[in-house]
Structure 1
């Protein structure tokens, strides 16, 4: 059958009023077979996370004698004035600092000290009460060791640097070493509690360290394995199968008894001895260089029988207050950073050889940096090399990264410059740290160790700095970021303001992040500037503009305790709970009355793809289906200066219970919305539970579009709770900075709305109604697949079109619908959507009023689908992703081809489903318009698998070279389509691996010369990034080969026959390519010559496309 494409000009193709009205659906949590026992068991965590993979962390504590000193830095003066002022002695009491008590393994405070009976050692929990000091009468400032004092017993005091004073008036005199510049202050009543806490918990270096370490490690969740040791423990013990000094316990899950033991060990740690840092770091490396069955690579270290995981990361934190000394020997002490090699390779054919270049190399042997380099560049296990590299750390073999923490230390090399040199290659000159002298080069050797091992370094000058920096280090180590939502761009053109946005989440503590990257205007790739971060743009809890909905009043309200209804207050329980949900951290902790500790106020962003709202043209200024006044007013609005300059925004849902609205340029939060449906059953309050188990809250993808509301043009947003609830909500976002509670339009839920996994569409119908339409999702009370159509302004239900397919025993649900403007007049007249039974439904909205809207096809009184997806054995294939469509002319009349794939990936167990073959389809709808009335009959509607031409995956080849690059590829058949065919299909069966559970859970993308599908193959292996994806780029009418190369496989920008591959008889285009990462989470976004995709490994990568000159451009717009 010869099909000729409608001659739609490029301008019309890019306008949303053409064929496809509703663009950019969510990536729902999607699915794979129809034999379904009620209800749907929707997973509350991302399925691709697989098993847990907690990193190893070895903490090495400095227990040297200098840690008992009460002065900082080492050369601080012992003069009785200077020694008792924080201006000269950083360790002494600072009246501007707040000294919080340390915390135990539960995060509970060790208690405030008493000013009149202050503990001499607040960490000696068993006997501290027997050794107390009355600070109001008997305070003596300690100095180097117990019994070493500054001054006699007297009321507690400090000296404050406060020039000008007598003999402290000139610039030359006003220096911190001039004792005349100080005034003695007896601790006033208001400061006595703070001073007592300092005395008992912070007055020595070791005390300050214990306080900071306890508070930092208290924020650490259970998603990490912690071991520990002391630098002066020289006895070699067998730890997890390896005889090593220093290490006192191997890595264990940081929970329960093991967590308590760490804090008990920390509080009891002594301070006596030298500073053998090289021996200590070497001991940590030897511990990790261990393939023993009970070693650190096992899932059960210390106990045999565990599984060794090849992608586990390992870190060491080395904390010290001084310059290293002592002897050390062995291969780790050679000039390892000055010697190139060795080489490494991995199972996916990566390779790496260390090169002795700056900023790593020096000419010295026996340094701490050499030890760090040895255990970074050498493979510490015989396991496959499957550690995930990062931009900072390219190592994919088992290795150790070192974080060096200095306490009151300063070297000669700038740490930022040293770490920047890892990517820039700038020259860093390292001094010689050898010898016994205390020289800056030894401090730089700590920094050098962090650089060599691609870890980190910081030096803190006060307890607050120390605790904060250590907490950030622990967060970086425990980071387990991933992404399940698609990339979003603010433009399809590349200019100086083009940005790409990526949402991520950390499954260790279920925090989230939205990153904004500015693109390089020359390359179209990510720029070099650090990305913007939404987590950094959230105001203090009292200043945030948060709103919700009151069902009893039928209006929006401020999310504040005093405005909540009685039922809402009862669900949350207290004003403190409301403040916590607004971001207040003051009540966080692990005590009986405390709330869950959060590392960020921004919750995890999993399946919610952000929507961008700028000044997009929706084409209504020229839409013939609108009245002349509507068209003119739309053009007038768009020409208005205030509209042109309005704040560009991003909207996304997070599982902190909030739909977030942030400025697109800097990601600063403008307002947020908490759906009322989340109050029910205490689900919202569960976010504060210390034993919080992850669930979804606002996990749906919002949709925004221009529409007429209240007689005026506005931008309206419709959002959903996703798997977090059974509700949709709408708001007027025309002017986001002035958003208030009156702009919340409605929130809708009813029994036949299930989990709102899909995305709504915002359209004008032929009847003149502006509506929001959506599928009812899964687990509705009625269990059938239904299309809901609501009045956009009021949320009133205009229609509920029930397919009548589904039962209690075998429930059904409708996925995200596609609204189509078949006659290109600006109004939606057709809707296509799939269900769990494999039915592709067509809904007819062409009627002049809502009572005429209907399911397009019937057999007698029974609704009939356009097509039923079944595999070759007749088993139904679920359709859970939004379809797409394109219009063609054939047999003398217009036709639509509807493109969709089958499979699901949102129920528990879906990640292991491999036995049911899934399929991608292109199905012809011959009845765009019906002048005879025959299009409503079942005989016309009936399209079966036997009516479609079958294309196949003929070749699947791996590591195929194209120029200097390699790709995994697929070749597709080119079977001809005939007049009797009503479309095409391809079964997702690998010719090499057979059935793998491959499925389609992402909407296709239709371009002028191709249709693109993205498949996914789940893999529960914790080292497998959750699975993999294949890109398909197919002939849009046949589903077979294109006539050109759709992929730039050799990266020369030509898309020529150089990217063809021989199928056994001739060179043909490559129409399938495996994504070199995890599962791709949604359609690409951004400028067309470089569209960005995200995957489950947290990667953001560019997919090159031809430029506009080739005539190959996508219809899809990001909005």
Structure 2
């Protein structure tokens, strides 16, 4: 049985109900060029290049110079006819002004449209046409490889001729000027195939058009010849004449405009789709179809464009059913490592199925352009959409209230185009492949064909809701199938398009009988629409050439959006402690919505009932006018750097320009106010409510990489007695209100007892607990930890370039605030405050600092905006172009000179071409807490790239940081000496280079070695210096998913304090051969053992290699501080198949001193009796079990959960594959320990 993929992802992020600051490192390999950072999480099976079959209508009607078809015979539907009497049908519109105006004849020149020439395969443009020598066929005259030359031209100033309709019954081929016009015979054919008829043009032989002066909504005006004014193009400006000549040479007939539109629509498409092509007829003068499908780049792109250029003369009928059958059968192909196999992928490292390199998750799309109804009997001969069936996912199809839009049709409609489309969607085209095609949700709304289901009641798999499954806007098919996008010219439907969709879904109307195989009827256009719905695609109607370009671009954007759709795999949890609340966050890949839940935590580590869910609470808050009156959102004005309310009048011109830009077209549309309202939570403009902005199932955006952070009472361990004269904090000795103890007590739940302690809190009061979560709706959210109410939200200035995309119906996921905050208590501006550093990961190049001392639950929006202390970006002041995408978390700490600073690793891709191009090198910024100015910029040189996370070290345990350590993409580990009071004396050392440049992107874990040889001759043998522990690997780009490079773990013994940078005594960099090597092994049950070789005098640390292909370390280790126990994790790709992104992990519990096992300490339940005891120990002189493979991706440090009162506990391994979506608990032994180190806590 083939297993489908769900599209709802419940990503667990669990944390202790106290200050938690976890982190996730990332891995990469150094490169001279910017990395192709994946916007969408790599653990989702998406971004496989889809197949697109392009079908072009080359029927005879494509040579016509008018649109719609009714212009040839006047047989307009009643809704499009004037009220006064005219001959119906009327065949001689070529003898009326209407025929030469775009208000009536949509194919004719429109003075309001810019007619750009076609594009070449390389993206350059064909030349503009000349008004006095315009090409009869501009495409044929200028195509690169086989031009026909430029001899066939026409002087439009004195030899103008109108192309009307080649071989159109009762219509001429061409119209020329004459003072003796041809007689109009409305009852019979007027002219033969090559016939040229004459009409008295308004300006003799000069080119012209008619400008409509009436009301386009008034049909009497449209059909009234007196409402048209002639314009002589020869008297217009040179620009207008060139525009008219371009229309003449590249757009004047349907075929020309379609070919030009196709060239321009594909002009912006890179190699991320694969194309094949066909025409609907077998034109002998061109290659009408291809037998291969390849990425659209290089010579294949050139071949595709040559095909476009050569469809310049058309003949034949409209066998659209045959063309659809050919496309569907093409996607059934199998066998062979060649491009004739639609599923073949040459980049795979090995065969995936049946000895062939195939991708089971590749999507198939059919992009079909046509100008009319089908007129053939090819394809299937049955009526599957009106019958019953069982789909490959086990879903039963039959007539029901939910399936009316597919099923409800005239019973005479047998084997139409819609039936063909249903055949190739509902059946598995490759039953020998696993069902891993990404599903797609565009409209998660309910209440049309079934009951309204609130977001809080939505199941994990949204396709369990019948209305969502059967909504034709969504695609639940995980099996190999074909989706049809039909782009049609302005043709008449019987049913109102698209307004009848709601009635069709409800069953209020049925699909009408299309009556004939060979004729042209409006009901057949309905059947074309039906075909797109049956295959979960879309029909787009273009009424004029410029609309045709946009329609084709819309199809490609829709395909790109579906390419970016994703199905989920399990990921890990954060941290949870018995007896507390657990805060669980995640997202839904269907519409990239998010959730934040508070759950009770059971004593065994499992999650109990939900106490609150933030999404529904926020939706209720913004309902009606709540988004404006109740919700509090603030931002930073990028011109002034000041915090301001998120309101139109508060933003800078640059911010307004970004929000005034249509994200689809890039053109200014002056809708910034509406976009601001939408982002604040206004739902009235969503498509589901009659607007044109993206529909959302909830206002809360996806929470992906941002682990929730809980803040209540001040959490640092400053000792007021430790501060020295001259320190700013020394003022506490004379003013108790300035003491950290006062700050800590007054903001805690002990505030009521301050009188007993003789303290005066003044304006300080107990701080309510708040959970801070970064969302990919552009905001950092502050939620009341007890109730789930959103208190406020902050939008960093760096997200504005992409912020408007949130309103786009074709939204493709883009990260925004995709990183957790780092909080810290600091003494700044003469008082203790709690601040939080906000970075964005892939969402932007920025770090903000907020004052979160007071949650501000009752404060106004303007007052809340003063929380913004500063934002440092790659282009702001303060700022620096060397700031990249900050994937590594910042750190905040006190310096030896009495100041507090934010340590910001520059991250990745500062050298991308974005208008603020940096060096791309590894850089560490040290920024002043009070104003964000640069205290020190460590630039690590041309051989470095991409500084990841850093950790701070304190030799004296006085919370004054003396040293920092951090690694980079080039595999270098650096030590930053911060001991001097003078910032100018700070320096850095390269202390280690990994073999083969193994990338370091995790934050290193550091711990003082208390077991060094006291008084040793070498500095690294003395106690008090740090052990720096970290792993290597890469998990940032799509290529990382299939990398099998050898990765390792290291524990380095640094030389300690008192040695100047570059000192020979420090002996940096540490040679790789000076590390003791441990050996890691794994048994058939997935348990791991390791050797326990000691780090002998003279050795500089330890290392071991990971053992499975692709295994790597992407997460900072946890640390049981007192016992010096390191808890590390790895991720392991399931296979090299991009369609199987699932990951497993290994948990490793090690002695940080030597990387070996813990003496006399069983760690895992190896005998399966449910407890960890001496029966699980296998130590001695050999090796002990130190690790275990778990069937989920551990992307955060695995937490230890202990029951109340102590005793043995569990390692909590979370992920969607746990029982009922809850974490798996691995039995873990009792440790008598004081503390568990999190990311923000430094030794």
Q: TM-score, normalised by structure 1?
A: 0.57
> Residues 472-871 of structure 1 correspond to what in structure 2 (within 5 A)?
486-489=573-576, 492=577, 494-495=578-579, 498-520=580-602, 522-529=603-610, 532-538=613-619, 539-540=621-622, 541-542=627-628, 543-573=630-660, 574-589=672-687, 594-622=692-720, 624-625=722-723, 627-630=729-732, 633-640=739-746, 641=751, 645-680=766-801, 683-736=802-855, 737=857, 738=859, 740-749=864-873, 750-780=880-910, 781-806=918-943, 812-855=945-988, 857=989, 865-870=990-995
Q: 1:891 aligns with which of 1007, 1013, 1028?
A: 1013
**Which of 1086, 1102, 1106 is the aligned partner of 1:988?**
1106
**Where do residues 1101-1112 of structure 1 align in structure 2 (5 Å cutoff)?**
1101-1103=1223-1225, 1110-1111=1232-1233
Partner of 2:1112: 998
CA distance in 2, matches of 1:321, 1:263: 9
Q: Alignment partner of 1:1070: what SS? A: strand
SS at match of 1:536: helix
Instruction: Count residues in correspondence.
Output: 714
1:1040 aligned to which of 1125, 1140, 1156: 1156
- Judged with a 3 Å threshold, the aligned counterparts in structure 2 of structure 1 residues 555 and 1000 are, in CA distance, closer, same or farther, namely closer
Distance 1:686 1:587 in 2: 14
Superposition deviation, residue 922 in structure 1: 0.6
Residues 139-166 of structure 1: per-residue CA shift (max 9 Å, x gap): xxxxxxxxxxxxxxxxxxxxxxxxxxxx
C-alpha contact 2:387 2:407 (8 A) present in aligned 1: no
Q: Which residue of 2 aligns with 1:76?
A: none
Once residues 884 and 1050 of structure 1 are traced to their aligned partners in structure 2, the CA distance between those partners, rounded to angstroms, is: 32
1: CA distance between counterparts of 2:381 and 2:44?
28
- What is the deviation of 1:551? 2.6
Alpha-carbon contact 1:611-1:650 (below 8 Å) kept? yes
Q: Distance in 2 between matches of 1:958 and 1:1108?
A: 27
Cα offset, 1:842, TM superposition: 0.6
Give the match for residue 1185 of structure 2.
1070
Per-residue Cα deviation, 1:626-656 (whole angstroms, up to 9, x for no partner): 6444485111122222867321111121111
Q: CA deviation at 1:668?
A: 1.8
Cα deviation, residue 1055, structure 1: 2.7
SS in 1 for 2:984: helix
**Structure 2 counterpart of 1:945, from 1058, 1072, 1086:** 1072
Residue 1018 (str. 1) matches residue 1147 (str. 2) = no
Which structure's residues are more often strand, by fraction? 1
Judging changes above 3 Å, is the alpha-carbon distance between structure 1 residues 401 and 868 closer, same or farther for their aligned structure 2 residues? same
Please tell me whether the aligned partners of residues 1080 and 1094 of structure 1 are also in contact (alpha carbons under 8 angstroms).
Answer: no
Shift of 1:751: 0.4
Q: Measure, in 1, the Cα distance between the counterparts of 2:1034 and 2:745.
A: 44
> How far does residue 598 in structure 1 lie from its aligned partner after superposition?
1.4
Query: Which residue of 2 is the match for residue 26 of structure 1?
Result: 23
Q: Report Cα offsets for 1:919-940 as digits up to 9, x if no partner.
A: 111100122344xx58734862
Task: Give the SS at the match of 1:923.
Answer: strand
Task: Give the secondary-structure state (helix, strand or coil) at the position aligned to 1:1055.
Answer: coil
Aligned CA distance change for structure 1 residues 263 and 685 (closer, same or farther; 3 Å): farther
State whether residues 648 and 664 of structure 1, in contact with CA within 8 Å, keep that contact through their aligned partners in structure 2. yes
1:819–1:239 Cα change, 3 Å: farther
Inter-partner Cα distance in structure 2 for 1:223 and 1:584: 36
Alpha-carbon distance between aligned partners in 2 of 1:746 and 1:623, rounded to the nearest angstrom = 31
Tell me if structure 2 keeps the 8 A contact 1:517–1:527.
Answer: yes
1:1075-1090 residue pairs with structure 2 within 5 A?
1075-1084=1190-1199, 1089-1090=1209-1210
Contact 1:702 1:717 in 2 (8 A): yes
- The equivalent residue for 1:65 is none
Question: Where does 1:906-925 land on structure 2 (aligned, <5 Å)?
Answer: 906-914=1036-1044, 916-925=1045-1054
SS in 2 for 1:637: helix
Change (3 A) 1:973 1:1045: same
**1:897 Cα deviation (Å)?**
0.5
Per the alignment, residue 1094 of structure 1 pairs with 1214
TM-score by length of 2: 0.52
User: CA separation of 1:997/1:684 partners in 2, compared to 1, >3 Å: closer, same or farther?
Assistant: same
Once the two structures are superposed, residues 481-501 of structure 1 have per-residue CA deviations (whole angstroms, 9 ceiling, x without a partner) of 667675244xx5x43xx1112
CA-CA distance at 1:518 after TM superposition: 1.2
**Which position in structure 1 is the counterpart of 2:1097?**
979
Q: Could you tell me which residue of structure 2 aligns to residue 453 of structure 1?
A: none
What is the Cα deviation at residue 517 of structure 1?
Answer: 1.4
Match of 1:1059 in 2: 1176
Structure 1 partner of 2:1083: 957
Whole-angstrom CA distance in 2 between matches of 1:770 and 1:664: 28
- Shift, 1:248, TM fit: 6.9
Q: What secondary structure sits across from 2:845 in the alignment?
A: coil
2:252 is matched with none
Change (3 A) 1:262 1:763: same
Taking the TM superposition and a 5 Å limit, the aligned residue runs for 1:132-171 are: none
Q: Deviations 1:726-779 (Å, cap 9, x if unpaired)?
A: 000011111112461111110001201001111111111111111111100011
Provide structure 1 residue ranges, at least 5 long, that are not aligned to the other structure.
1-21, 55-125, 131-221, 227-237, 255-260, 271-293, 323-389, 395-399, 406-477, 858-864, 960-967
Distance 2:697 2:1042 in 1: 33
Cα distance in 1 for residues equivalent to 2:458 and 2:683: 32
Question: Residues 435-463 of structure 1, C-alpha deviation per residue, up to 9 Å, x if partnerless?
Answer: xxxxxxxxxxxxxxxxxxxxxxxxxxxxx
Secondary structure, counterpart of 1:903 in structure 2: coil
Distance 1:533 1:1090, change over 3 A: farther
Residue 1125 of structure 2 contacts residue 1151 of structure 2 at CA under 8 Å; is this kept in 1? yes
- Give 3-state SS (helix, strand or coil) of 1:44's partner: coil
The answer as to whether partners of 1:534 and 1:668 remain within 8 angstroms in 2 is no
* Aligned partner of residue 635 in structure 1, secondary structure: helix
Displacement, 1:625?
Answer: 4.3
- 1:401/1:1117 Cα in 2 relative to 1: closer, same or farther (>3 Å)? closer
Contact 1:905/1:1001 (8 A) holds in 2: no
In structure 1, C-alpha distance between the alignment counterparts of 2:394 and 2:1039, rounded to whole Å = 26
Write the distance in 1 (CA, Å) between the matches of 2:815 and 2:721. Answer: 39
Q: Secondary structure of the equivalent of 1:723? A: helix
Give the RMSD, CA atoms, in angstroms: 4.7
Gaps of 5+ in 2: 1-18, 50-76, 82-360, 366-378, 396-401, 412-420, 451-456, 469-564, 661-671, 753-763, 874-879, 911-917, 1015-1021, 1204-1208
CA shift, 1:687, in A, is: 1.4
Q: Which of 1008-1017 and 1045-1054 deviates more?
A: 1045-1054
3-state SS of the aligned residue for 1:1110?
coil
Give the 3 Å change call, closer, same or farther, for CA 239–619 of structure 1 in structure 2: farther
Give 3-state SS (helix, strand or coil) of 2:1185's partner.
coil
- Assess if the C-alpha contact under 8 Å between 2:835 and 2:850 holds in 1: yes
Between the aligned partners of 1:717 and 1:791, the Cα distance in structure 2 is 13
In 2, are the aligned partners of 1:884 and 1:1006 still within 8 Å (CA)?
no
Compared with structure 1, are the counterparts of its residues 1085 and 1060 closer, same or farther at alpha carbon in structure 2 (3 Å cutoff)?
closer
- State which structure, 1 or 2, has the greater radius of gyration over its C-alpha atoms: 2
